[in-house]
Structures are given as C-alpha cells and as structure tokens.
Amino acid sequence: MTDTTSNTPAADRARESELSPFGRFLKATELDIRMLGMVGALLIIWVGIHILSGGLFLTPRNLWNLSVQTSSVAIMATGMVLVIVMRNIDLSVGSVEGVIGMVMGVAQAEFLIRVMGFQLGNPWIWVIALAAGVVLGLMIGALQGFIIAYLEVPAFIVTLGGLLIWRGMAWLMTSGRTVAPLDATFQLMGGGPRGSIGATASWIVGILACVAVALMLLNGRSQRKRFKFPLRPVWAESLLGVVACAAILGAVWIANSYPWPIGIVRQYAQRNGFTIPEGGLFIAHGIAIPVLIAVAVGIVMTFITRRTRFGRYVFAIGGNPEAAELAGINTRWVTMKVFMIMGVLAAISAAIASARLNAATNALGTLDELLVIAAAVIGGTSLAGGSGTVLGAMLGALLMQSLQSGMVLLGIDSPLQSVVVGAVLVVAVWLDTVYRKRV
C-alpha cells in the first residue's frame, strides 16, 4: 500500500520545521547554495585584497576598470557554458578572439581606407569591420562545429588545433605588426570617458532594470499561480527584489562616482568653449558601453538556455547524449550551432578588447581560453555535462578578473599569478566533483 501521508501539507510543515533557519531561508527564497557560496567568496576576495592593497581595490576607479576588464571574458564565458554542458570543450576561443580582432583592425586601418577609399570618420567603417568580424566568428565556429559533430573528431583535438591555427593566422596577416589606430566610433565599445553613457543615462538604465526585476518577479508569481506550482512567501519575493535592486543601484552609484580625468575634462571644456570652475569640474563616467554589451549578451544567453527549445536540447544532450538522440534530437546540428554561437561571442569579445586597446595586436586573447573555461567551471558548469548557468559563468569571470586585478595591485609577479589562477581552477573542479557526489 502506498504511503500518501508524506506528501500532505502537514508532512511538508513537519519536514520544514526540521530544517535549520538557514535551510528554511534557502527553501523559501529558492536560492542556489553554490551561487551564494560564489558570491560570498567574491566578497571575501574583494575585502581581503582591499585591506592588503591599503584601500586601493574597493574604489570607484578600480571597480569601474574591473567591470570593463571583465566584459570580454564574461561574454565568451556565457557561450562556454553551452559548450561544456554538452560535454565538449573549446580551447581555441582566445586565438579566435585574436584573429578576429586582427581582421577587424586591418579592415578599419588599412583595407577600407587604403583599398576601398573610405575617408576617416566614415560611419560605415566600424559597421563593416564589426560585421566582418561577426561573420568570420560564425564561420570559424561552424567549421569547428562541423568537424566535431559530423566528422566526429573530439572537440579537444579540433579546438587545440584551432588554438594553434588561428593564432598563427593572426600573425601571418600582418607579420606580427600591431595595427592602429582604430575608428573613433569603434573605440566606444572599449569604454573610457567617451565609451560610457554618463550619470543621467546610467540612473535611467538602473531604474529601468529595477522595474524589470519587479515585473519579472510578479510575472513569475502569476505563472506559478496559473500552473498551481508552490508559491514563494511574499517576504522572500520582496527580499529578492530589494536585494537585486540594491545591487543594481549600488553598481550605478559606483559607476557615477568615477570622474573623468582632469586632462580630458580640460579638453572637453576647450572644445565646448567654457571655463572650468575654481573647484574643478566633476563629470561622471557612468556605466561603460562594454559592460552594457556584456549584460545584454548575458540576458540573451539566459533566455536562450532557459526559454527556448534549443536550450533545452543542449541540456538534454549534456545530461544523456544517447537518450537525447533516441528522443529525436538532431544532436549533430545542435552541437554545430553551439560552436557557431561561441564563434560569434568570441567576435564580440574581440571587438571590445581591441577597441579598449585602440589597436589590434598579436597578443590579443592570449590565454583567454583558460580564463573563460575557469570562469564557466567556477560558476557551476559541470565538466561532466548537463548543468550550468549563464549568471554563474559571468560571476565566475568577475571572480577570476578580481583575482588578477588584485594581484596586479599587490605587485605579485606574473608567473605567480598564473600559479594562483591554475590552483583556483583545480580547486573549482574538485569542489564540483564533491558537490556532484553529494547531490
């Protein structure tokens, strides 16, 4: 005879009463303990480095620069989640970023101007260069995905070969020469005083983001009611909304607390024909454009992974490839599309990284593949496949970049920085293994 008492409301209340206060909190808010652990680790790292650096880390200037530095890695990490979820790996993303960055640089500084006769400042220069980079990224991803999916060559071998091939192609294009300067409009994607949206627009973006959070929570609650799913307590919903909005508005406040350098302020005053006041002129950077691009990519990738059939197919294949194929999923085409997405994201990252440098260099993207993989794994993407989140990968990218930025502030030598990054990656994989054994 089946025992039905274990599923009654009274039984649920009894089980809940056995939980610790922290356990009841997690159950009510439905927060992922791994995500909370990563946020806690990030805060500990920030506070620790801030103390050791003599108060240099948690400043508006450093945090603003940290957000810009994180953007390109975070964008690629969102695609690496899909790759690893499907039990594959992509070791070529750094080299793909490098060769695409070189193509976009050559297109702007040489081909379009010298060969096609475009004039400096032509608004089509950056559009054509960016489009060429995205198309090239799509083609590289399609080529590698085709070899992996249809020719059945292991992803490790294909992308390891890609790491060498695309890095070599970037060097051959210019014989190792750096290409600069880039188009002025293209440079806006790299951040800086002109590559930011200013204080007023930043506050507007922050308020709209808070409204979006509130609407998302309300819509989620109405959907739960509609399909008769268990509802979170009102206090839990309110707490999540308040914390999310506080984080968003806090980030905007920090971005608006970082002023333009005095030299750029003087140039701005001269161009606009006014005198700087006696006490100086404070002009806030606001949110950087590359950060907005990274957030937009994160939202789109989250929607793809959680709200589309393609996203469900990716996780189904990662969980059990044989069962997914027997269920009628075209696993080869899905695999190829994942690598195509990875190529496009590498192109976007290449645009941001080269725009920030105002140059296309052969060093662009070097070792970024390790940072991207580490960010995805630290963010909770399992190397065994089948699980991972875009938000976790982006937080993982922020954690990795925080470590690197902090070690630079502390004056730690580059070889030791590599040791720390490698150790963090090994520990992250070990923790993932322990977690999976306990679940």
Cβ–Cβ < 8 Å for 332, 82: no
Query: Residue 269 has which token pair?
Result: 């005053």
Q: Which of 304, 247, 273, 308 is nearest to 81 (CA)?
A: 304
Residue at 273: amino acid letter:
G
Q: Which amino acid is at 64?
A: W
Q: Say whether pTM exceeds 0.85.
A: yes
- Residue tagged 């296309």 (tokens): 360
- Phi, psi for 432 (deg, rounded to 5): -65, -40
Longest dimension (CA), the chain: 88
Query: Smallest Cα–Cα separation from 63: which of 337, 307, 258?
Result: 258
Contacts of 65 (CB under 8 A, 6+ apart): 405
Q: Which of 67, 34, 63, 64 is nearest to 49 (CA)?
A: 63
109-139 confidence digits (pLDDT tens): 888 888 888 887 888 999 999 999 999 999 9
Q: Any idea which residue has 């020469």 for tokens?
A: 177
Higher per-residue confidence, 333 vs 437: 333
| Sole residue written with tokens 């161009």 | 271
Averaged pLDDT for residues 175-179: 90
- Which residues are within 8 A (CB) of 164 and not within 5 positions of it... i.e. 6 or more apart? 95
Cβ neighbours of residue 118 closer than 8 Å, sequence gap 6 or more: 112, 124, 125
Burial 87-120 (b: 16+ CB within 10 A, else e): bbbbbbbbbbbbbbbbbbbbbbbebbbeeeebee
Average pLDDT, the chain: 90
The dihedral through the CA atoms of 384, 389, 391, 394 has a sign that is: positive
Q: What is the band of 418 on the pLDDT scale with cuts at 50, 70, 90?
A: confident
Are 320 and 119 a contacting pair, CB within 8 Å?
no
Which residues make beta-bridge pairs with 360?
A: 179
Alpha helices in 308-330 (DSSP H): 309-319, 321-326
215 class by beta-carbon count within 10 Å (0-12 exposed, 13-18 middle, 19+ buried): exposed
pLDDT digits (tens, 9 = 90+) for 34-90: 888 888 889 999 999 999 999 999 999 999 999 999 999 999 999 999 999 999 999
Tell me the pLDDT band of 433, cut-offs 50, 70 and 90: confident
Structure-block tokens of residue 362:
């052969």
Sequence-separated (6 or more) residues with CB below 8 Å from residue 402: 42, 45, 46, 49, 66
What is the reported pLDDT for 1?
A: 44
d(CA 76, CA 65): 18
State the Cα–Cα distance between residues 304 and 189, nearest whole angstrom: 24
Mapping DSSP onto H, E and C, the string for 405-422 reads HHHHHCCCCHHHHHHHHH
pLDDT at 421: 81
Confidence (pLDDT) at 18: 62
User: 360 is written with which tokens?
Assistant: 């296309």
Model confidence pLDDT, tens digit, residues 333-363: 999 999 999 999 999 999 999 999 999 999 9
More confident residue, 96 or 32: 96
Residue type, 51: I
Grade residue 153 by pLDDT with cuts at 50, 70 and 90: very high
Q: Which residues, including other chains, have CB under 8 Å from residue 49's CB and lie 6 or more apart?
A: 57, 402, 406, 409, 410
pLDDT for the residue numbered 426: 84
User: For residue 212, what are its two tokens?
Assistant: 């979006």
Residue 110 is encoded by which pair of tokens? 């040489």
pLDDT above 50 for 387: yes
Residue 254 has pLDDT above 60, yes or no: yes
Contacts of 78 (CB under 8 A, 6+ apart): 297, 298, 301, 345, 390, 393, 394
